Structure 1
Amino acid sequence: MEKNFLRSDETLDDLQLKGICVIQKKDAFRFGIDAVLLANFSKIRRGARVVDLCSGTGIIPFILAGKTEASSIIGIEIQNEMVDMAKRSVSFNKLEEKIEFINKDLKDLQFLRTLDKADVVTVNPPYKLKDSGIINLNDKNAIARHEICCTLDDVIKGAKAVLKDNGRIYMIHRPDRLADIICTMREHKIEPKLIKMIQPNTEKAPNMVLIEGQNNGGTFLKWEAPLYVYNLDGSYTEEINKIYGR
């Protein structure tokens, strides 16, 4: 059965979640803990409509399909090869009634506004500024990590275009971009509501940040206790094991 869905340079990876598997390239950008943390951080009510921006091969939509009772999840991704893999993953998992992937540029606001308004937007965007280091602008891994095809401002504009009034955006990013994130959200009338720092362990500074914003929300920002990924002996913390269902 797998041979009908996989190319020779791809793998089928089990999410250990209701039997859901995702197709990924063997030697290209593969999902990491950041996508898992974002999916767990996002609050998705029963019957919610979700749009996932910068969707890649669809890891966040597939986790949300397994963990939540969202009625529909749409992934928007600019790279056609990623969308092709994501669509084949949908077929493999028989999730056609719940998940859809669209090969579009999130900067196409005219298209985004044609979609039904979303209750929730999730996004794991490129973290690094376009001019941060030497990069190959045609490299698929670089596109996933650097602001080559979209900037933080583009991401927030895209979320604004698809969110219903008071809808929520959930994003994971790097702490050094937190000031940019908050300022950009407010510029587009998305109010930051909740921040959670992710730290490798209790002795290291945060290397990721989770943030929730509300479209046209009131001003009130809360901080959650930080999440530690590892114990000092190198083992995963109880909270991480719980997120992974271990």
Structure 2
Amino acid sequence: MKLKLLKNDETLDDLQLNGICIIQKREAFRFGVDAVLLANFAKVKSKMKVIDLCSGTGIIPFILAGKTNAEHITGIEIQKDMVDMAKRSACFNNMKQRLEFIHKDLSDLNFMNSLSKVDIVTVNPPYKLKNSGIVSKDDKNAIARHEICCTLEDVIKAAKSVLKDNGKLYMIHRPERIVDIMYIMRKYSIEPKLMRMVQPTINKAPNMVLIEGKNNGGKFLKWEAPLAIHRENGDYTEEINIIYGRNESDKNGNR
């Protein structure tokens, strides 16, 4: 009966996490390592309430639900078909009591301000500035990668509107946007507290940055040691294998 939740152009992907599976389009935007890293970076404690902005098909809420004892996780996403997939994934995994997915524009501050305040906001937003670079011909991919439906400031403003005092924002972005990120976070009194650069391999420059910000927090920033995804020989690093829950036989990423 559960397989009836799957449409012909979709796949059901096993997250290798407590039997959780997620529905995705075969050809449209699919989650990557950035979402997995962000879900692992977020410090979500028991009974906390979480909102995930730019939630897509819900990958971050599903990983958080599998790894933490968060009381409730809400995903907000502007693309209706993504929300539909996330809702069906919640049904498939019997998680409708803990996970909720809402089709809304996060720049609608009237809506955002109507939500209950939460302990944690996570967001894996579009990285690329609007009108920068070559935009994908596939609108869904373009929306996921470019600031078409929301800007970095829209994202941080939305996070501010739903965070409790001293609540935390966790975001993954690109290092080349770090000045914008820190400037806009401070503009809305979300103080950058912790950053970690992510390198594709040990000896390459970072291509992602993980950020923790605290709503109305004091001015003090710490850096964690960089995280490398691959060793020089192309194998995953030990830390990545741990994050993905791989055992010794899976060191090279095979399952």
Q: CA deviation at 1:202?
A: 1.8
The equivalent of 1:220 in structure 2 is: 220
Unaligned runs of 5+ in 1: none
Distance 2:25 2:120 in 1: 28
Answer whether contact 1:137 1:143 (CA < 8 A) is retained.
no
**Normalised by the size of structure 2, how large is the TM-score?**
0.95
Distance 1:108 1:140 in 2: 20
Distance 2:91 2:202 in 1: 42
Q: Secondary structure at the match of 2:92?
A: helix
Q: CA deviation at 1:133?
A: 2.0
Q: CA deviation at 1:3?
A: 3.1
Q: CA deviation at 1:136?
A: 5.5
The equivalent of 2:139 in structure 1 is: 139
The yes-or-no answer on 1:27 pairing with 2:43 is no
Distance 2:48 2:88 in 1: 24
Distance 1:229 1:136 in 2: 26
The equivalent of 2:59 in structure 1 is: 59
The equivalent of 1:72 in structure 2 is: 72
For 1:65-124, what per-residue CA distance to the aligned partner results, in whole angstroms no more than 9, with x for missing partners? Answer: 000000000000000000000000000000011000000000011111111101000000
Distance 2:138 2:207 in 1: 27
Distance 1:128 1:192 in 2: 21
Distance 1:139 1:97 in 2: 32
Distance 1:26 1:137 in 2: 16
Return closer, same or farther for 1:234/1:217 CA change in 2, 3 Å cut-off: same
Regions of 4+ moved over 3 Å: none
Q: Secondary structure at the match of 2:225?
A: coil
Unaligned runs of 5+ in 2: 247-255
Distance 2:197 2:207 in 1: 8
The equivalent of 1:163 in structure 2 is: 163
Amino acid at match of 2:130: K
For 1:121-172, what per-residue CA distance to the aligned partner results, in whole angstroms no more than 9, with x for missing partners? Answer: 0000000001112326871000000000000000000000000000000000
Q: Calculate percent identity across the aligned residue pairs.
A: 69
Amino acid at match of 1:166: N
Amino acid at match of 1:9: D
Distance 2:137 2:70 in 1: 35
Q: Secondary structure at the match of 2:239?
A: helix
Q: Secondary structure at the match of 1:100?
A: strand
Distance 1:229 1:77 in 2: 28
Q: CA RMSD in A?
A: 1.0
Amino acid at match of 1:164: K
Q: How does 1:92-111 map to 2 (within 5 A)?
A: 92-111=92-111
For 1:194-227, what per-residue CA distance to the aligned partner results, in whole angstroms no more than 9, with x for missing partners? Answer: 0000001121000000000000000000000000
Amino acid at match of 1:223: W
Distance 1:62 1:181 in 2: 26
**Normalised by the size of structure 1, how large is the TM-score?**
0.98
Range moving further from structure 2, 127-136 or 35-44: 127-136
Q: Secondary structure at the match of 1:167?
A: strand
Distance 1:232 1:78 in 2: 39
Distance 1:152 1:224 in 2: 23
Q: Secondary structure at the match of 1:242?
A: helix
Matched positions, count: 246
Return closer, same or farther for 1:135/1:201 CA change in 2, 3 Å cut-off: closer
